[in-house]
Structure 1
Amino acid sequence: MVVDAGLGQFGDLLFESALVIYVFAMILHAVEHALLRRTGAEEESAARVPVAAGATAGTAGMSGTSGTSGLSSEGAAAAADLEDTTEPPAPTRRPRSRAERFGRTGVSLTVLGFALHLAMLVVRGFAAQRVPWGNMYEFTAAISLVAVGAWLVVLRRRPELRRLGAFVLLPVIVLMFLAGTVLYTQTAPVVPALRSYWLAIHVSAAVIASGILLLAGVASVLYLLRRVHENDPSKLTWTSRLPAADVLDRVAYRATAIAFPIWTFAVITGAIWAEAAWGRYWGWDPKETTAFIAWIVYACYLHARSTAGWRGPRAAAVNVVGFAVMIFNLFFVNLVVTGLHSYAGVG
């Protein structure tokens, strides 16, 4: 298998460019968050341009008196009919606040970074002539890409959640920084054990699920912090600029509900691949065990979230535990613990 080293270096340049753009986007979102002084509803109502009701009424009165005073009754009726068919004036568009301008620019940069990030993985795949998640560098980059993509989908459906941008991009930037420094690996073929079509099936499912669960974990952490402020307004005052706690809870729940079946598929296909590669479906390898623990935690979260007695902070705490298990699985199990899935030689 021939590796195109020059194309691989170009992919690394795209990765670094995407990381820099994400940093600038996070800064702009942080500025937006700092400029917010009130909740979203208060800000929107304050920024909306008021309509001069008196001027409208005065115009209507003039058109009904002086405008038709010199007309006959038939002419006045015709004038009234003409006014009825006139198009109503277009509503005045409210001016954008400084915070909104910063936030929208941050979203634009995030989209640009996502495009460069996606191009990096495509280029890396062509350079190595395989799927671009065969080592920890590529795997972490792919998870970060899915997390940003999931965030952009949320923004498409709920633009008012834009103020969460800095908090979503922060873990993505940390992961990408670690991937580009500690975990970096030059473009190369994968080890023989990974040369299987299951690499494209099993690992891609794990990547997609992990990226979406990263978004869910961030939402649950912010939910718990927001609840602290709602219970005691003197604490964590900066969280007053976040969306309401129930909105954050719904984002975390829906993201987890989408990711959980994909993670289940990843665990099942991993067992099938293990049987084909090692002659057994399950061997309680550290990676397998941690992945199964994460599956149990998220199953408990979904069950707790649908149970009235556990809905709220306790369910969110379970989701945060699941997020912590995923981070532990990504770094400690892959890089420290020795096992069949160990990537300790990467670096």
Structure 2
Amino acid sequence: MAVYTLAFFAHIAEWVFGSRSKVARTAAALTAKRGSDDSGDREREEPAASAPAVTVRKGGSTSVLERPKAARPKVVVRSAAGRRGDLPDGPGAAGGDEQGDLYGRVAVSLTVLAFLLHASSVLARSLSVERAPWGNMYEFSTAFSMVAVGAYLGFLLAKKNVRWIGLPLVTTVLLDLGLAVTVLYTESTQLVPALDSYWLWIHVSLAIVCGALFYLGFVATALYLFRDRYETKLLAGGTPSRWATSVLERLPSASSLDKFAYRVNAAVFPFWTFTIVAGAIWAGDAWGRYWGWDPKEVWSFITWVAYACYLHARATAGWKGRKAAYLALLAFACFLFNYYGVNIFVTGKHSYAGV
């Protein structure tokens, strides 16, 4: 958590210094005019004016030397042009200028270090209990945040423009780990016989991975709503506040955020479906019935229905934009209630695992 805290402050520095720099807006303008691919990082240098030549006389001969071109500030661009009107993607929280980008690279490096320590702690817990380290809410929470950070770093490794996720992700991880080590902490213990099954590795691990990726889709959807309102105001001729401009100019365009959220949710949905099926099979082995309308089963199904409605509306009704975004937020809220609300406030067959 200490290293995540350092990464949090580095991300803050990245956004603050990048937002103060006019180079960020220059980067967005260059992206809009020239277009670019979204496969990776690149740098452009502004052309330097030609310097006057220097004449050198030595002996009886004369030679002309060109003066070296003056160095110009580099503009860091990491995102392709947007599709909505003339509004391009912002630098994608990639620094805007070299100073801001430096803070961003420090933040990512600290996040990698924190992730390695985080993964080591989950492994240590597994060795301590001699089983899968997600048998209660404390273990689930630590594993959940670890997978979310791992997915984020995986996107970065694949050269995706997702640096904008870094600040909200690290903030959420700190809150999640703080809650885990205070309210949800549970000593290392063995599970009841019903949970001592290889399905613990399949069913619960899938639930963790799906939830972590659903979370990344949620972040993109929430930021999309802010960026969409900002773009709508700009296209209508309005003038957003300086704070909104300094922050939202650093995000990808609304269409890019919407596309990212949709692709993540669509890719994860089949795995969430299998998670529910795997849980039903495990319930048949442990309790002698595949479905018993247990609160956890019911809310897992409600979450599945909510995401199915979101994907169906996008595919058939043509719901793109704010309507679909509200459905996606509702679906993730169902997932959160299924995890926290059902486990803490509702009693069912899944309650024997304890907090």
TM-score if structure 1 supplies the norm length?
A: 0.79
Task: Supply the AA of the counterpart residue of 1:200.
Answer: W
Task: Supply the AA of the counterpart residue of 2:163.
Answer: R
Q: 1:308–1:101: structure 2 CA closer, same or farther, 3 Å change rule?
A: farther
2:328 is aligned with 1:319: yes
Task: Supply the AA of the counterpart residue of 2:203.
Answer: H
By how many angstroms is 1:105 displaced?
Answer: 0.5
Q: Deviations over 1:217-260 (max 9, x none)?
A: 11101111111111225264432322211121122112112211
Task: Supply the AA of the counterpart residue of 1:34.
Answer: V
8 Å Cα contact 2:4-2:114 kept in structure 1 = yes
8 Å Cα contact 1:229-1:240 kept in structure 2 = no
2:29 is aligned with 1:42: no
* Counterpart Cα distance in 2 of 1:126 and 1:271: 28
Residue 204 of structure 1 aligns to a residue whose secondary structure is helix
Residue 241 of structure 1 aligns to a residue whose secondary structure is coil
8 Å Cα contact 1:334-1:344 kept in structure 2 = no
2:216 is aligned with 1:234: no
Task: Supply the AA of the counterpart residue of 2:240.
Answer: S
2:6 is aligned with 1:24: yes
Alignment of 1:1-347 (within 5 A): 19-37=1-19, 42-43=26-27, 48-52=44-48, 54-55=50-51, 94=74, 97-158=98-159, 160-232=161-233, 233-234=239-240, 236-237=244-245, 238-307=247-316, 309-342=318-351, 345-346=354-355
Q: Deviations over 1:295-318 (max 9, x none)?
A: 111111122233463111111111
* Counterpart Cα distance in 2 of 1:304 and 1:29: 35
Q: 1:20–1:258: structure 2 CA closer, same or farther, 3 Å change rule?
A: farther
Task: Supply the AA of the counterpart residue of 1:23.
Answer: T
8 Å Cα contact 1:297-1:321 kept in structure 2 = yes
By how many angstroms is 1:40 displaced?
Answer: 5.0
Q: Deviations over 1:128-157 (max 9, x none)?
A: 111111111111111111111111122223
8 Å Cα contact 2:126-2:133 kept in structure 1 = yes
Q: Deviations over 1:34-54 (max 9, x none)?
A: 223369562475984323353
Task: Supply the AA of the counterpart residue of 1:161.
Answer: V
More helix by percentage: 1
* Counterpart Cα distance in 2 of 1:163 and 1:39: 17
* Counterpart Cα distance in 2 of 1:308 and 1:250: 16
Query: Which moves more between the two structures, 231-240 or 45-54?
Result: 45-54
Q: 1:52–1:36: structure 2 CA closer, same or farther, 3 Å change rule?
A: closer
Q: 1:30–1:48: structure 2 CA closer, same or farther, 3 Å change rule?
A: same
8 Å Cα contact 2:152-2:165 kept in structure 1 = no
Identity %: 45
**Looking at CA atoms only, which structure, 1 or 2, has the larger radius of gyration?**
1
How many residue pairs end up in the alignment?
Answer: 300
TM-score if structure 2 supplies the norm length?
A: 0.77
In structure 1, the gaps of 5 or more residues are 1-18, 60-65, 69-88
Query: Which moves more between the two structures, 254-263 or 335-344?
Result: 335-344
Q: 1:160–1:259: structure 2 CA closer, same or farther, 3 Å change rule?
A: closer
Residue 311 of structure 1 aligns to a residue whose secondary structure is coil
* Counterpart Cα distance in 2 of 1:134 and 1:255: 26
Q: 1:276–1:343: structure 2 CA closer, same or farther, 3 Å change rule?
A: closer
Task: Supply the AA of the counterpart residue of 1:272.
Answer: I
In structure 2, the gaps of 5 or more residues are 32-42, 55-61, 76-96, 234-238
By how many angstroms is 1:67 displaced?
Answer: 7.0
* Counterpart Cα distance in 1 of 2:229 and 2:73: 36
By how many angstroms is 1:21 displaced?
Answer: 1.4
* Counterpart Cα distance in 1 of 2:140 and 2:115: 16
